[in-house]
Amino acid sequence: MLHRIVVKIGSSSLTEDEGGLNQDAVRFFASELAALKAAGCQPVLVTSGAVAAGFREIGYTHRPKVLHEKQAAAAVGQALLMQSYRDAFAEHDICAAQVLLTRADFNSRKRMGNASMALDELLKQGVIPIINENDTVSIDELKFGDNDTLSALVANLIKADKLLILTDMDGLYTKDPRIDPTAERIRQVDEITDQLYAAAGGAGSEVGTGGMRSKLDAARIATRGGISVFIGKAPGTGDLLGAALGEGKGTYFSTSLSALPRKKQWLGFLSTPLGSLYVDAGAEEALIHGGRSLLPVGVKSVQGSFHTGDVVEVFNLDGVTLGRGITNYDTEQLQAIKGLSSGDVVKQIDVVHRLEVIHRDEWISLK
């Protein structure tokens, strides 16, 4: 069986410091992806670089900050980026396809399904899909934020075996190695903790948008969907294949979970919660470890304004996020029955649907 591997390459790896594409870098990564394909993999490339490639070409002296300027730069840069990739892959007799996505494509389960089928067909035909966010039409409120998140969502969408996120750092460190010589590289991560986020630091490079924290967010999404992740460098010939084989210069994130159904992907990472529920320890245990539904008796506090069928976020009494689910009650009903036993709920209101506040089939744990 062919292994599906999503490779994410950031702007800093593809563009010059002052903007514009580094053609040698594009050809190098194309050859590395071709080697993955020759080794029996089905690579999918998630690439940044459209804005960075286009802003000089359009006449800006610095990477634009205003939305319409970024959209204009992306419109020019995306064409330049894709042409460079197509030329580079043609040297290896590989056809490359452009796939531009927005968050709205993932917000809609139907559009997610269409994108999945298109990508499956491209891979079946031996084509390498080159995926980028459609920056020309995306608005700040609905953007992924960076292509790290996009790469994790794509990896879940196509049920990839691995996600390789390439960066200019050789993995995650205990401290910032640029300023602290005592920093040690973390080779293996089995659980993404608050301590890891603290070690990840802040922003990325001048030409990109994603720092190590955004890569941790991506790793969290991917591993939650049963996909192992590599974050690190692949600067030399054969390094990308080495990263795929577990011999990379970076940090590996393991997972023991299974692939997420498309509905759970949407629920966990793309839906918009319209309310918040705070639950007691018994409900937390039932949801996280018991594989059971959330009953009214476990709900201690209700916030927000929502209706039956809306998505709500669930927290424990310490304010820790437990997960998201689709509620069977609106705000007013749930305020009236929170903390009540099932028998008392039936006496309090007419239950014309499921008794559960959130059925286990409509729930995803994020803890």
Structural domains of the chain, with CATH: 3-264 (3.40.1160.10), 271-365 (2.30.130.10)
How confident is the model at residue 140, as a pLDDT? 53
Question: Mean pLDDT across the stretch 171-181?
Answer: 85
Q: Residue 226: left (phi > 0), alpha (psi -120 to 50), or beta?
A: left
Contacts of 241 (CB under 8 A, 6+ apart): 32, 35, 36, 39
How far is the C-alpha of 13 from the C-alpha of 30, rounded, in Å? 13
How confident is the model at residue 206, as a pLDDT? 41
pLDDT of 208 strictly over 50: no
How far is the C-alpha of 215 from the C-alpha of 1, rounded, in Å? 28
How far is the C-alpha of 166 from the C-alpha of 163, rounded, in Å? 10
Q: What is the pTM of this model?
A: 0.84
In DSSP terms, which residues pair with 275 in a beta bridge? 304, 312
How far is the C-alpha of 308 from the C-alpha of 357, rounded, in Å? 10
Helix segments in the chain, DSSP class H: 11-14, 23-38, 50-58, 67-90, 103-107, 109-124, 147-157, 194-200, 212-224, 239-244, 262-269, 281-288, 331-337, 342-348
| pLDDT, tens digit (0-9, with 9 covering 90-100), for 90-136 | 999 999 999 999 888 887 778 888 999 999 999 999 999 999 988 66
For the ranges 7-16, 78-87, 289-298, the lowest mean pLDDT is seen at 7-16
pLDDT of 142 strictly over 70: no
pLDDT of 196 strictly over 60: yes
8-state DSSP, 293: P
Strands 41-47 and 3-9: parallel
What count of residues does the chain have?
367
Contacts of 336 (CB under 8 A, 6+ apart): 348, 349
How far is the C-alpha of 167 from the C-alpha of 240, rounded, in Å? 12
How many CA atoms are closer than 13 Å to the CA of 308, on its beta-carbon side? 9
How far is the C-alpha of 128 from the C-alpha of 158, rounded, in Å? 13
pLDDT of 1 strictly over 80: no
In the chain, the largest separation of any two C-alpha atoms, in whole Å, equals 73
How far is the C-alpha of 145 from the C-alpha of 337, rounded, in Å? 38
H or E segment and range at residue 60: none
Dihedral (Cα; 4, 229, 116, 147), 10-degree rounding: -130
Tell which residue, 81, 85, 220, 97, has the closest CA to residue 148.
220
Q: Which amino acid is at 266?
A: W
Question: Mean pLDDT across the stretch 352-363?
Answer: 87
pLDDT of 281 strictly over 60: yes
DSSP helix/strand/coil, 129: strand
In DSSP terms, which residues pair with 131 in a beta bridge? 46, 99
Question: Mean pLDDT across the stretch 68-74?
Answer: 89
| pLDDT, tens digit (0-9, with 9 covering 90-100), for 297-322 | 999 999 999 999 999 999 999 999 99
| pLDDT, tens digit (0-9, with 9 covering 90-100), for 156-172 | 999 999 999 999 889 99
DSSP helix/strand/coil, 45: strand
pLDDT of 65 strictly over 70: yes
| Token reading at 325 | 């689910």
Q: Please give the mean pLDDT across all residues of the chain.
A: 89
Strands 299-304 and 96-101: unpaired
Q: Which residue has the higher pLDDT, 354 or 53?
A: 53
Question: Mean pLDDT across the stretch 280-303?
Answer: 96
